[in-house]
Structure 1
Amino acid sequence: MVNGYLEDDEAYDYYFTRRTTYWPLMNCLDADDPILTNKIRDELMIKPPRNKSFLRVLNQQNLEFKEGKQATDIRDMIFKNKKNGFYIEAGAYDCESISVTLPFEYHYGWTGILIETMPYFFTKCKQVNRHAHLMHSCIGTKTRPYITDFNISGGLTEPNSTGHSDGVYYMQGIVSKKNSPLEVSIKLQCYPLYSVLLSLGNPTVNLFVLDIEGFELGVLQTIPWNKVDIEVLDIETDLAGVVQKDSSREKIIDFMYRKGYDRFDHTNDFNPVTEKKQNDLFVRRDIVKKYNVKQLPIVKENN
């Protein structure tokens, strides 16, 4: 470890050898069972520092609202200078380099929960010292907890299986099938998002960032929308249908429309790997009115 950060050999060992904890009996419990929600709160979550402490970022620029980035679009279109908001970021990666919520936390005092499944990246999250709850788990596609295989290899071993120019089959995520004997997976217990929210007292969620590499619709379908208060969602949609075959970007858009959300585009969001728009922004209709949300000009992709 150098300056508090794992070196490559340490990271590799942690990445591939760390054991995860799961409780099979929890799979029998409903999402709102207090036994389950208390277990999540007391044993799965790392609580934020009692006193707001300094952030240990590798790049100070990651704290800023940069032009053309998701966080900037969300601020400029919706929340403006809103302080002390609450977020969920599922698929938090290293909690810094591509974090949508970090600028809101740094500049406006937001807090929330950061959820990351990959052991190595979760270690990185802890090192950043975010003022938020941390959870090393996966958000489930079922209304009860369950144990599943999670691919930590990235599925880079079968070129062109999705037509992507660099041979990406899927990013790390829930495994529907193994594409190569070289791929590595770990057993993980996934939990309903509703259970996670209840473990925190079911707060108003100003911003929910959902970036779990293709299973977004499955997660959205588990949420009891009449029992939660989620204002804005930023959802990765370009991998919909790749691993969850009954999903598509169009199905996610239709689902969110029926739940009372209007869709907005990011200003500069073209993914050259998938050759699609990467994320869609959904704002609940009462929030559209509250903040007078208007679409910002979109940067045209260069063909």
Structure 2
Amino acid sequence: MLEENAKSQLGQDIHVLHEIYKGKKNGYFVEIGAYDGVEYSNTYLMEKDYGWKGLLVECNTRWITSIYQNRDCIFMPYAAYNEDNKVLDFYDTGHGLSGLVETNSHISSFSAPKIYVLTKKLTTMLDNARAPNFIEFLSIDTEGSEYEILLHHDFDKYLFGYICVEHNFIIDNRLKIRGLLESKGYVLSRENRVDDDYIHKSLLVNNA
């Protein structure tokens, strides 16, 4: 299915909207690692054509202006991580491989400017955004910190129906994420190149 505002790299937005939620209007999304808010966005189509609201998280100051210009949803300029208000080094490589040095040590090998970023836990940001307790879609692409973000999230307070998480073929992180999400009631829905997708078992029951 072709849609003009579909921006995701691997068809994630089309898959979630039409295969999982059957064209649902007015859902809620969270996209961590939002880049510029448009290119490769897994949620741009949801907002622009389907009336979804949501939260974008992106700590790279390079993209703040673009996000404000192109998106209408809530935006938080923090680094999602395992604790609140920690200051960490972030290397801006100028493309989608930028990330926290603490969870991605190879990034320092790039000739890239370093900036300092403030961390927030996912649960804290959802509290501040006054997000609903059930969130249809979570997308995480943070080049190495995905497990730490999920490990310290309160799934009892905020439940996600469908999660798309990048693993980038880092086997240890991929397995830890899988074990964690399975313990929270998720089932691996599909492997999509650099991403693994998980669906909560409650959606499987409702769609049966």
Decide: shared fold, TM above 0.5: yes
Asked if residue 147 in structure 1 is aligned to residue 87 in structure 2, the reply is yes
Structure with the bigger percentage of strand: 2
1:66–1:101: structure 2 CA closer, same or farther, 3 Å change rule?
Answer: closer
Q: How does 1:69-218 map to 2 (within 5 A)?
A: 69-128=11-70, 130-142=71-83, 144-153=84-93, 171-176=97-102, 177=105, 179-180=108-109, 182-203=111-132, 204-218=134-148
Q: Please say if residues 91 and 115 of structure 1, whose CA atoms lie closer than 8 Å, have aligned partners that are also in contact.
A: yes
1:132–1:181: structure 2 CA closer, same or farther, 3 Å change rule?
Answer: closer
**281, 285, 296: which one pairs with 2:197?**
281
SS in 1 for 2:179: helix
1:258–1:149: structure 2 CA closer, same or farther, 3 Å change rule?
Answer: same
TM-score, structure 1 normalization: 0.61
Asked if residue 255 in structure 1 is aligned to residue 196 in structure 2, the reply is no
Q: Please say if residues 214 and 239 of structure 1, whose CA atoms lie closer than 8 Å, have aligned partners that are also in contact.
A: no
Identity value in percent: 24
**Matched residue pairs, number?**
202
Amino acid at match of 1:94: D
Q: How much has 1:249 moved relative to structure 2?
A: 1.1
Unaligned runs of at least 5 residues, structure 2: none
**233, 241, 245: which one pairs with 2:163?**
233
Q: How far apart are the structure 2 equivalents of 1:207 and 1:68?
A: 16
Aligned counterpart, 1:49: none
1:202–1:134: structure 2 CA closer, same or farther, 3 Å change rule?
Answer: closer
Q: How far apart are the structure 1 equivalents of 2:66 and 2:9?
A: 25
Whichever of the two has the greater Rg, that structure is: 1
Q: How far apart are the structure 1 equivalents of 2:44 and 2:51?
A: 10
Q: How much has 1:68 moved relative to structure 2?
A: 5.7
Amino acid at match of 1:205: I
1:261–1:184: structure 2 CA closer, same or farther, 3 Å change rule?
Answer: same
Unaligned runs of at least 5 residues, structure 1: 1-60, 157-169, 242-246, 270-276, 293-303
